[in-house]
Amino acid sequence: MTNFTKKLTRGVVAGALAAVSIAVATPAASAAGRDGVCNDNEFCLYHFSAFAGSISDFTGNVSNYGDSQPTCYEFKKPNAAGYLQCVKNNAASACNTFDRDIRVYFNSGYGGSYDTVPANTCRNLVNTYYENASHKFI
């Protein structure tokens, strides 16, 4: 847990400037979620392994990440690899800051192979490495 806390703190500090610029350009209601910063009570997907690259942060279940603009969920952390790319089939690692486990699924609609990301942990994806389309709490 100490390493997770350190990584999470570094991510928050590194993304602070990005969060401020996004918060200024976005309505206050959406400033907390989907801002490219992995905060408490968020599920975060990273473009690269070992929690590197751009981040896509979520606060709930998503049954289909979408695979093209303008209807896909995208990586939101500016100035990082993967920024503004669609998340679907582009995530390699994840952090779960909730107190519940989350599964990342190969298919949309919570189907196919999956990776379970236990509560309050980060891990590289194995079964859904760059092959992911949905996630939900279990």
Phi/psi for 50 (5° steps) reads: 60, 30
Topology (CATH level 3) of domain 2-137: Gamma-B Crystallin; domain 1 (2.60.20)
Residue 85 has pLDDT above 60, yes or no: yes
What is the mean predicted confidence (pLDDT) over 80-103? 97
Residue 125's pLDDT band (cuts 50, 70, 90): very high
- Rama region for 56: left / alpha / beta (φ>0; ψ in -120 to 50; rest): beta
Residue 104: per-residue pLDDT: 98
Contact predicate 47/29, CB 8 Å: no
Strand duo 102-107 + 134-137: pairing: antiparallel
Q: In this predicted model, what pLDDT tens digit does every residue of 32-80 receive, in sequence order?
A: 678 999 999 999 999 999 999 999 999 999 999 999 989 999 999 999 9
Residue 26 has pLDDT above 70, yes or no: no
| Helix or strand (DSSP H, E) at 122 | strand 121-124
77 half-sphere exposure, CB direction, 13 A CA radius: 25
Residue 33: per-residue pLDDT: 74
pTM more than 0.85: no
